[in-house]
Structure 1
Amino acid sequence: MSKVKYAHTNLITADWKKIAKFYIDVFGCTPLGPVRRLSGQTVADGTGLVEPEIEGVHLRFPGYEEDGPTLEVFQYLVVRDETERFANSRGFTHIAFEVSDLDSICAKVISAGGWLLGKLARQPVAGVGVCTFVYVRDPDRNIIEVQKWEEI
């Protein structure tokens, strides 16, 4: 049986440096490895795109060691814009960060150019605990769930 390990989540943006800074400043992600500058036939073959040119960085998620999953923040020279996504859109809609201080993180989201989609809500989950959470957007309008868990 083949071994499977979660590797990364990719985020495409018009300004990878700006969005990487947001995730570094707000959530404590850290750059991992060199800046990636990718192009050529191999990248075209793998992505199915014609003459793609990519630049960006991998950010280590907080709470993980060197080999943990990353947020891959990339910028293509040519992008295809789609309709804005919402919490109830089909497909991948958000990433989530568990934090110890919701108010502080929400303030950082706003000061770094993001905004709140809702307000703090407390949701009991039987057998797990109570999750206090809110959905926010980064400066590119990507949805992020910020959550704090407590035991019941």
Structure 2
Amino acid sequence: MFRYVHTNIIAKDCQKLINFYKEVFRCKTIGETRNLRGEWLDRLTGISNAHIVGEHLCLPGYEEDHPTLEIFSYDTMENADSSLNKCGIAHLAFEVDDVEKTLQLLLQKGGSQIGEVVKTKYEDGREAVFVYATDCEGNIVELQSWS
């Protein structure tokens, strides 16, 4: 079997970030909380005395079995720069009913806007609205709507 399972975000404050994704993007608790430690985790992560806490959230538009957004915090973490043009995973994208309304909620909950809200028309006649923003910890998200 092959299937996409989850995307992981390492948070400075996992509970704050979990609440952000629940409130802004309607992710749902599915009862999969984690408080992990042990020799097996040290071997898996390559981190001595690793300790992870957090939760899996069901992504909007999906059933409770997958895919999930896995938000964890380690007792000790590294800091890294986040930008749209860095190598690796750049952003999470959410299709929303109203980009401007969702952006305002995101800003109220501690996120920030990166670029402008852009409206464009594709060659097939579909119209889209996009904006890049960050969650309350600086992770990049894209809001989009289509008509």
Question: Does TM, scored on the shorter chain, surpass 0.5?
Answer: yes
Q: TM-score, normalised by structure 1?
A: 0.91
Q: Which residue of 2 aligns with 1:13?
A: 11
Q: Which residue of 2 aligns with 1:75?
A: 73
Partner of 1:49: 47
Map 1:84-123 to 2 at 5 A.
84-123=81-120
* Aligned-residue offset at 1:134: 0.1
Shift of 1:15: 0.5
CA distance in 2 between counterparts of 1:43 and 1:141 reads: 27
Code of the residue aligned with 1:27 in structure 2: it is: F
C-alpha spacing 1:128/1:50, structure 2 compared with 1 (3 Å):
farther
* CA shift digits 1:80-124 (9 cap, x unpaired): 112x21111111010000001112101100100001111211233
Following the alignment from structure 1 to structure 2, what is the Cα–Cα distance between the partners of residues 94 and 124?
22
The offset of 1:34, in angstroms, is: 3.6
For residue 66 of structure 1, report the CA deviation from its aligned partner. Answer: 1.4
Structure 2: unaligned runs, 5 residues or longer? none
What amino acid sits opposite 2:8 in the alignment? N
Q: Which amino acid aligns with 2:97?
A: S
For residues 141 and 133 of structure 2, the distance between their equivalents in structure 1, rounded to whole angstroms, comes to 5
Over aligned residues, Cα RMSD in angstroms?
1.3
Matched, 1:146 2:128: no
State the distance in 2 between where 1:125 and 1:44 align: 48
Report the alpha carbon displacement of residue 131 of structure 1 after superposing the two structures with TM.
2.1
Alpha-carbon distance between aligned partners in 2 of 1:48 and 1:123, rounded to the nearest angstrom: 45
Displacement, 1:139?
Answer: 1.2
CA deviations on 1:13-53 (whole Å, 9 max, x unpaired) are 11000000100010100112242000001111222221200
C-alpha separation in 1, matches of 2:125 and 2:57: 29
1:33 aligns with 2:43: no
The Cα of 1:128 is off from its aligned counterpart by: 7.4
Letter in 1 for 2:21: Y
Unaligned runs of 5+ in 1: none
